[in-house]
Amino acid sequence: MDCGGCGLEPRRPAGGGGTAGGRSPRHLLRPPLAAGPGRRCTSPTDGRPFLSRGTAGLDAGWQHDRVRPLAGGAATAGRPVGLGFVDRGGRNARRGRRAPAGRKQGTVSGGAWADLEAGLLECRPLDLQQALPLLRSSLPEVAALDEACEGRREGRPGESALEHTWQVLVRLRPRLRGLPAGRARALCLAALLHEVGRSPLAGPVQRRASHEQAGAALARDALFRLRLAGMDRDEVVYLVRLHGLPSAFGAREAQEARMLRLAWTVDTRLLYLLASADLEASTIVKGGTAAASLAAFRARCEELGVFGRQPPQLIAPRRWRQLAPGDARLRRRTAGELRFWRLKGRIATPEQAEAWLATQPPRPGGTLYLPVGVPGSGKSTWVAKQLPEAHIISMDEMRERLTGSRADQSRNAEVYRICRGALARALRAGETVVWDAQSHTWAARQGLLALARESHAYVIVVYMDVPLTVALARNAGRAVTVPEAVIVRSYRALQEPRPFEAEELWRVDVDGHCTRHVSDEEAGA
């Protein structure tokens, strides 16, 4: 199992203590609204109008202000002001106790969510009983944890996963002081959602999957409904997916390349704080192994200089400006290549980096557009509209040519070999190429990125950032459909692309609006 794009695999038993339950979470998911700052939108819960506001990105090392709209302009998702949440009744905090007879279904005002969030961030006392109505209406994935028991080695006997979640939040409160507001918010949301993989709404956990992996898709959908901005949402989802890693840290996970990728993927300090609170809230004795692993994780991060920060540069900005190509696009491409070869272990010291830099071709190469998204997310439609002149290499088309059906997976190895060969030839020829496939996991992307780096191509990742319901609805409207189970499985396995993977990361929302996040060519590498 490849966890969260970082390649690190927590050592957990198969199934990870997940709770089986055949219900699909799709009925709980709503497509996000294109809610740019100050735009009037409609609540998906009660149809009320509200005024949205924007939120800032989390990744300080990437230039979020350099936004260039395509297809109608950029839309930054914001958290709604005045969003109505409906209390639909149901269980109280303690299982088996029903709400009093005759109780009316009240409406929880938008201020209720703001109060809960502010209470978390300001370290106020938390009242699970008071928060349950809001959780049932706005975050049913979390409320359903009241019906899920903790893992075999976590929590008090008989304690629900919701009660454990609340204990994690309580233990995190003093650690929020001193964190920037955006980081504190990400940590709170990750703590609130970190156990949702145990929810009955998650369905049966797939073979070899942990509750962390199972919970990532549910967390993503919950954050869509809260309208958290895309880069912020990705950070929280990765914290949920990887929160078990520090407590299962070992020699394999400590390899430098894996640690670099982890630090470029997620804030390691937030990951450590979440794992620490999770361990402290687990009152059944686990022995000293988990605590020792947690300490080893922090020590290794500090040794490599990646605790709470991205990997240090091998070439400082001043020296970088002296040695790197003068053209901004070539600088970004060169920095992207250097990051990739650091991940592969080919370059590890400043001396090696400078020697490698002296051998790099000063001329432009080809361009690789790498769409990322599940079936039905709109990849092919967007590419046809925005990149009509590009050379498109489609595995679906090759599969249809070889087998007569795009759905026939019997010759996948041959399909990939032929398409990869065509991609290599096109990039070496300096063409602009689109690789039209899912590329929805790091494992699927890294081989293509290696080919691009060997060919000195400029890499642009285009992430189709849509919720599951939208992908399913679009698929249903096609003449030739993909089985729903395939889409759900791909969505569950989805590993959001991170800025370190490419020179530019484009995020396309449900309305087709594209926001470009461009790496800083002056920052060194």
Please tell me whether residue 151 adopts helix, strand or coil conformation. Answer: coil
pLDDT of residue 95: 34
pLDDT of residue 5: 44
80: which strand partners? 52
Q: Which residue has the tokens 């001043």?
A: 318
Residue 220: CA count within 13 A, CB half-sphere: 28
Share of the chain above pLDDT 70, in %: 74
Q: Which of 210-224, 238-252, 413-427 has the lowest mean pLDDT?
A: 210-224
Mean pLDDT for 391-404 is: 92
515: which strand partners? 507
Name the pLDDT band for 323 (thresholds 50, 70, 90): very high
Q: Which helix (H) or strand (E) holds 391?
A: strand 391-394
Q: What is the DSSP string of 196-254?
A: GGGSGGG-SPPTT--HHHHHHHHHHHHHHHTT--HHHHHHHHHHHHHTTSGGG--TTTT
Q: pLDDT tens digit string along 64-118?
A: 333 333 333 333 333 222 222 222 233 333 333 333 333 333 333 567 777 777 7
Residue 38 CB neighbours (<10 A): 10
Name the pLDDT band for 15 (thresholds 50, 70, 90): very low
Question: What is the chain's mean pLDDT, rounded?
Answer: 78
Q: pLDDT tens digit string along 134-176?
A: 888 888 888 888 887 765 445 455 678 888 998 999 899 889 8
Q: Which of 17-26, 246-255, 397-406 has the lowest mean pLDDT?
A: 17-26
Name the pLDDT band for 412 (thresholds 50, 70, 90): confident
Q: pLDDT tens digit string along 350-381?
A: 999 999 999 988 888 899 999 999 999 999 99
Q: Give the C-alpha separation, 214 to 491, whole Å.
A: 10
pLDDT at 37 over 60: no
Cα–Cα–Cα angle for 406, 409, 413, nearest 5°?
115
Q: Which helix (H) or strand (E) holds 392?
A: strand 391-394
Q: Which residues contact 242 (CB under 8 A, 6 or more apart)?
A: 3, 4, 6, 8, 10, 212, 262, 265, 266, 271
Q: Which of 30-39, 123-132, 248-257, 307-316 has the lowest mean pLDDT?
A: 30-39
Most confident of the following: 35-44, 85-94, 116-125, 423-432:
423-432
Q: pLDDT tens digit string along 178-230?
A: 899 899 999 999 999 999 998 888 766 543 457 888 899 999 999 998 888 99
Distance of CA 206 to the CA centre of its chain: 19
Domains and CATH numbers, the chain: 127-304 (1.10.3210), 367-518 (3.40.50.300)
Q: Give the C-alpha separation, 183 to 484, whole Å.
A: 36
Q: Give the C-alpha separation, 241 to 245, whole Å.
A: 9
Name the pLDDT band for 297 (thresholds 50, 70, 90): very high
pTM: 0.78
Q: Give the C-alpha separation, 229 to 221, whole Å.
A: 13
Q: Give the C-alpha separation, 504 to 365, whole Å.
A: 16
pLDDT of residue 361: 84
Q: Give the C-alpha separation, 99 to 350, whole Å.
A: 65
Share of the chain above pLDDT 90, in %: 54
Buried b (16+ CB within 10 A) or exposed e, 499-511: bbbbbbbbbbbbe
pLDDT of residue 173: 87
